[in-house]
Structure 1
């Protein structure tokens, strides 16, 4: 597809998300950014998170802490710390600016004070656009997604966009839908008021997450 005719700024990024497109780079050293509008889009239904028995045991074990926006840049850097990444210097800078503007957020998992997993993305009204996640400990990224889904649902969000589907995401209940169906969900979500800070993160880590989940 052709590149939209606007300058790449934080405001332009927000506009792109409302149009259903998002940016990527070929790798961390490539200064060029291209726009993506998948024919089939990944979403994670906020009422259909798949909480497996093993993940439920990890939640109930409660040997971790969960935070929102405590170290956004640290989460982005951890997501980029892999052999292949689409996060280049410009993307890192732009999302840091979105975070300062209150539109980009990170949910973080810590074990003994150490950042072990997390996910970050962009929030616009009732839509949350997941960008990337990482894990330095077994199931740490799954814990981050579980808490994020719970938080988004309670804060009034209606769409969790995962962009693409991976086996990891599919195991948690993510599904793939046609572009037209995604744009319909996006249009509705953008009309819904939502604030990720309007509710606290599930604080009782010794009980089950208050998720409307599927369990197996």
Structure 2
């Protein structure tokens, strides 16, 4: 399905219906709506933290923040030879961020942004859009902190759209379209917070969170 116009309201209604937008490239003005037959999700109680990632979380001096560099995070995710993020998608997600529906989790080395994740929230669902890494393990660290935050905030669904080999190593799985829509319907009935009250996790909290597997 192809759409020539995209607004924040249309985008939110699309997510609630289980579909999401993509462009063929950054220069393609058209938007394609996607509803995969097989859907990738990252179970919030099954995120896999390997021994090496646990060491990185506990020993790294990288700084973690949320919603302090949303535009930069989206720009970094789009800064690839091939990207589905065109100008319309970029502008619409920035509008959603200003409205409180789109969020980012950032990883910093000093003042340099080196990794991050961004996505959209509705009810108790987090629709992960993209992530990037400019240092080894930076995107894994971002995902670990994102999963911990979502669990603390009461989320029940982390939609990754597709399952990649990278996500599979972190506990990502693939489910049917029907199963996804059932899970989505249940998640949309509740409420969750991307910024939970008094939320300030220590690295040990994230490294030892429930669902982490000490192996590999």
Q: Is the 8 A contact 2:116 2:132 kept in 1?
A: yes
Distance change in 2, residues 1:176/1:30 (3 Å)? same
Q: Which blocks of at least 5 consecutive residues in structure 2 are unaligned?
A: none
Mapped to 1, the partners of 2:65 and 2:198 lie a distance apart of 10
Q: Which residue of 2 aligns with 1:215?
A: 214
Query: What secondary structure sits across from 2:174 in the alignment?
Result: strand
Q: Which residue of 1 aligns with 2:58?
A: 60
Q: Is the 8 A contact 2:148 2:206 kept in 1?
A: no
Q: Deviations over 1:42-66 (max 9, x none)?
A: 0000000000010000001031110
TM-score of the superposed pair, with normalisation by structure 1: 0.95
Query: For the aligned residues, what is the CA RMSD?
Result: 1.5
Q: Deviations over 1:166-196 (max 9, x none)?
A: 1110010000000000000000000111011
TM-score of the superposed pair, with normalisation by structure 2: 0.95
Q: Which residue of 2 aligns with 1:198?
A: 196
Mapped to 1, the partners of 2:158 and 2:66 lie a distance apart of 17
1:177-192 equivalent positions in 2, closer than 5 A:
177-192=175-190
Deviation at 1:199, TM superposition (A): 4.0
Distance change in 2, residues 1:199/1:169 (3 Å)? farther
Query: How many residue pairs get matched?
Result: 214
Q: Which residue of 1 aligns with 2:100?
A: 102
1:1-216 equivalent positions in 2, closer than 5 A:
2-3=1-2, 8-199=6-197, 202-205=200-203, 208-212=206-210, 213-216=212-215
Mapped to 2, the partners of 1:26 and 1:3 lie a distance apart of 11
Distance change in 2, residues 1:62/1:206 (3 Å)? farther
